[in-house]
Amino acid sequence: MVCYADDTLVLAAGEDWEDALATANLATARTVKAIKAMGLRVAAHKTEAMYFYKASTGGPPQNTITVDGEEIEIGRSIK
């Protein structure tokens, strides 16, 4: 996890796409819980998610990640 000002970046890895997604969902849930425990809010509607991968491995599957109860589509790029 990397935090800067009011932005938080959660990085997760896995042996395959499903493992990476499960790790990302767990790490994100724990991060949201920690943020809320500090009395802060998470703007799930502003959340972006993407896979980092080698082009030679083929593209990632279409998936979503859960952030504070909202499903966020995992895209191919972020702002």
- Residue among 16, 15, 8 nearest 67 (CA): 8
Please tell me the distance from the alpha carbon of residue 33 to that of residue 11, in angstroms, as a whole number: 16
* CA quadruple 3, 45, 31, 21: dihedral sign: negative
Domain ranges of the chain: 2-75
Please tell me the distance from the alpha carbon of residue 74 to that of residue 57, in angstroms, as a whole number: 17
DSSP class of residue 16 equals S
- Distances from the Cα of 51 to the Cαs of 27, 34, 36, 37, in angstroms? 15, 23, 26, 28
pLDDT tens series, the chain, 79 aa: 898 888 999 999 999 889 999 999 999 999 999 999 999 999 999 999 998 888 887 788 899 999 999 999 998 888 8
Report pLDDT for 53: 84
